[in-house]
Structures are given as C-alpha cells and as structure tokens.
Structure 1
Amino acid sequence: MGSLTVPACVSTVLLDIEGTTTPITFVKEILFPYIQDNVKEYLENHWQEEECQEDVRHLRLQAEKDCELDGFVPIPMNQTEVQQIIQGVVDNVHWQMSLDRKTTALKQLQGHMWRAAYASGQVKGEVYADVVPALRKWKEAGKKLYIFSSGSVEAQKLLFGYSIEGDLLEYFQGHFDTTVGLKVESESYRKIADHIGCSTENILFLTDITREAEAAEEAGMTVALVVRPGNAALTDEEKGNYPLITSFEQITLHPVQ
C-alpha cells in the first residue's frame, strides 16, 4: 500500500460511500438503529401527513406480497384503531430490517425519517478526516466528482449535505444509485460514463468492494481499493489484483489542462 499516481487522462473521480468516504459503522451503528429506535415516535408525530400515509400504503402493499414468507408480520387495515396500525407498521419495519431487506417501501420510509433526523441535527453524516481535503484539492485541480452508492440519491445527499464537516454537496457534480444498475455489473459503469459525458477510461473509481472494482475495471475505468478500519478483509489475491490505498492523501491526480 502506498501512493497511487492516476493516468493523466482521468478527469473524473467516482466514489463509493460505505467503507470509502464513510465508516461502515455509520450505517450499521447510527442510521439503522435510529430507524429501529424512532419509527414508532415518527409515525405518531407524522401520522396525519400525506407523505406518512403514502409510506404506510406502500408498506401495506409490500406486506401483501410478503404474506407467504416465514415470520411474516402483517399490517392491520385502516378500519383498525390507529395505535394498532402504527404498532403493526413498527413490527413490520423491525421484521424487514432484521432480514436486511431493501424493499422500496422500507427504503422510502427510512429516507423520510433520516431526512427529518438530519434536518433536526439528531444525525450528522460521517466522513473520514482525509476526505474533505482531498475533495477540495481534486476540485481545485479541475476534476469532476460523483458518488455511486447502493443507498438512494436522497440518502446520499443527506449524508453529505448534513455532514460533520458541514455541507459538502458543492463538491459533487452528481449522484448515482442502483437505478442505473447494480454496482457489481460492468454495464452500470458504462451507463454512468455516458451520463457524465466522458469515456470510462477518464474515470477513477474508488471502492472497498472487490466485485465492484472488478466490474468498473471491466468497463474500462481506473480503480483502486480503499482499505479502512472495519472493512472486510482482503485475500492475498485481491491485494495483488488492485492498487490499495488507506487514505485519499495517497492519490496523485494530474491537473486538468
């Protein structure tokens, strides 16, 4: 592990979030527990709002699809007392999260809850200490910066917009989530390059996940694996296949001419 000098043709940096800009523990130990601990209070406080009712409608539709699954938790219909419906939604959300499910209905409610938590200051997005100085330096060098994460674009913007370092959204030209495709599929990276309006060879992709690095490299991008505390351990083969960095400070980018 050491310095990484990037090819001169690289004009764009594409960043993963978890394990790359932000500790994996932030999602697992801050964001998800926040939902579990506060979902009941959130529903009680926002129950009359159309957005909240829409979230419940989507969760109920998802529950109808899930009724054959083991341990399924139903959500009572609207004729039931409000407190019973709320408890049903709470139990369903806890059940889905215990299975680490990523249903659209669950992600939508989580997104709305996180938005309220960030805006009120209850939650602040975490970034490693080397991230902001690097973003500033890369932007000054004329590089375009983008995010590609499995978390929704809205969740990404909340994390960087309400970060411990302040509002970082000014550094990014755009955000991509899995609506462009899965992060382990090379076609997703080609689509991103098309959207940005450059060739894949003009993009450096930074991630902590080997399968993502493999897909991006297959698409023609320059890649590096980011090794941070708490990230999944890499095999000797993985360490030999990709450049490894422990800090963004180790990356040397040529200024855009």
Structure 2
Amino acid sequence: MGVLPVPAEVRAILLDIEGTTTPIAFVQETLFSYIKDNVKEYLRAHWEEEECQRDVGLLRKQAQEDSSLDGAVPIPLESSSGEEELERVIQAVVDNVHWQMSLDRKTMALKQLQGHMWRAAYATGHVKGEIFEDVVPAIRKWREAGMKVYIYSSGSIEAQKLLFGYSTEGDILELFDGHFDTKIGPKVESESYRRIAASIGCATNNILFLTDVPREASAAEEADTHVAVVIRPGNAGLTDDEKSYYSLISSFTELFLPSST
C-alpha cells in the first residue's frame, strides 16, 4: 500500500459503507445490537401508530411466507383487546425479529422496521454514525478536484442517509452526489455497476469503486469499473491471491488524483 494513482478517465468515486467508510463493528455491534436490545420497548411505545402497524403487518405477512422454514416464528393477529393479549403479540414480533436477525436475513419487512427504529435512535442522539477519520477530508479534496462521489451499500438509502446525516462528523450528506442500494441490483453482480453508471450518466470505466469485499470488487471489475480494495481494522482478511491481484488502500488519503496536481 502507499500511494495509488487514480486513472485519468475516472470522474466518479463510488463508496461502500461497511468496512470502507465505517467500521464493520459499528454496523454489527452498535446498529444491530440496538435493534435487538430495544425492539420490544420500541413496539410498546409506538404500537398504536399507523407506521408501526404497517411494519408489523409486513412482518406478519413475511412470517406467513416463512412458515415452512426451520424455526420460523409466526406472528398472530390480536384476537381480543387487553394488556395480556397485546404483550403476547408484541413478544411474537420480537421473537420473529430476533430469529430473522440470527439468520442475517435482509427481508424488506425486517429492513423497514429496522430503518424506522434507527431513524428514532439517530434523531434522539442514542446513535451516531461512525466514520473513519480519513474519510471526510479525502472526500472534500476529491470534490474540489471535480470528482462526483456516490454511495453504494446493501443498507437502504434511508439507512445510509441517517448514518451520514447524524454522523460523528455532523451532517455530511452534502458530500455525496447520490445514493444506491440493492434496489439497483446486488453488489456481487456486474450488471448493477452498469446500471449505476447509466444512472450517473457516465461509462463504467469513469467510475472508481472502493469496497472491502473482493466478490464485489470482482463484479465491478467485470463491468469495466476501476476498483480498489480497502483494508480496515476489523475487516475480513484477504487471501494472498487477492492481495497480489487487487489495488489495496488502508486510508482514503492514499488515493492520488492526477487532476489535483
């Protein structure tokens, strides 16, 4: 590692979040632990609200689809009013959420509830998005040099905006020209990077993608996108082949933009 020159044709830098701009531990330990620890309290506090009822309705529908899966947790309808019945249904939702999270599922129903819980947690200051300290100064430099900067993460666009809107560096959303999530396609499929380029309005080789995941790097490269793999504390280790094959950086400051000379 050291200095990595950015190819002259690059006009846009596409950033992964987890393990790239943000420690993996923040996502796993802070964000997901917050959901597990607070889901019951959140449901009790917001149960009567329309948004919460919609979230529970989606989870119930997902639970019906999952009924044949091993260990699946059904969510009953409230058959009567009363504190005891309400607690029974809430506990079923809590158990369902914990079960889905234990399998690292990414269902729309689970993501939606998580998104609403995180929104409340960020807004009240219970959670702040963690950003590696080299990230913001580097992005400011890239933008001054005329680069566009985008985010591409498996977390929803809403979750991305919360993380950067309520971050340890303050609200830094103005640093990004746009956000992509898996609605544009999975990160391990090359077609997703072609769609992103079309959406940005450039060729795939006008983009440099920074990620910590070699499978994503490989998919982007197949689409003729430039790639660098980011090595951060807590990230999964790379094989010797991956280390010798990919351009590696351990800090955004290692990228050298020809246009900034």
TM norm structure 2: 0.96
Aligned runs of 1:167-246 on 2, under 5 Å? 167-246=171-250
CA distance in 1 between counterparts of 2:61 and 2:218 reads 37
How far does the alpha carbon of each residue in 1:149-190 deviate from its partner, in whole angstroms, 9 at most, with x for none? 011100101000100000110000100001111101110000
Amino acid of the structure 2 residue aligned with 1:12 = A
SS in 1 for 2:69: coil
Runs of 4+ in 1 over 3 A off after TM superposition: none
Partner of 1:72: 72
Aligned residues: 257
Question: Structure 2: any 5+ residue segments left out of the alignment?
Answer: none
How far does the alpha carbon of each residue in 1:25-74 deviate from its partner, in whole angstroms, 9 at most, with x for none? 01110000100000011011111110000000000000111111111211
CA distance in 2 between counterparts of 1:160 and 1:66 reads 33
CA distance in 2 between counterparts of 1:219 and 1:226 reads 19
Partner of 1:156: 160
**How far does residue 132 in structure 1 lie from its aligned partner after superposition?**
0.6
Question: Structure 1: any 5+ residue segments left out of the alignment?
Answer: none
**How far does residue 255 in structure 1 lie from its aligned partner after superposition?**
2.9
**How far does residue 100 in structure 1 lie from its aligned partner after superposition?**
1.0
SS in 1 for 2:258: coil
Partner of 1:60: 60
Partner of 1:41: 41
**How far does residue 8 in structure 1 lie from its aligned partner after superposition?**
1.2
Identity %: 70
CA distance in 1 between counterparts of 2:169 and 2:260 reads 26
Out of 80, 90, 115, the position equivalent to 1:111 is 115
Contact 1:143 1:256 in 2 (8 A): no
Deviates more, 1:72-81 or 1:170-179: 72-81
**How far does residue 256 in structure 1 lie from its aligned partner after superposition?**
7.8
CA distance in 2 between counterparts of 1:8 and 1:231 reads 29
CA distance in 2 between counterparts of 1:217 and 1:77 reads 48
Amino acid of the structure 2 residue aligned with 1:145 = V
TM norm structure 1: 0.98
CA distance in 2 between counterparts of 1:145 and 1:79 reads 51
Amino acid of the structure 2 residue aligned with 1:10 = V
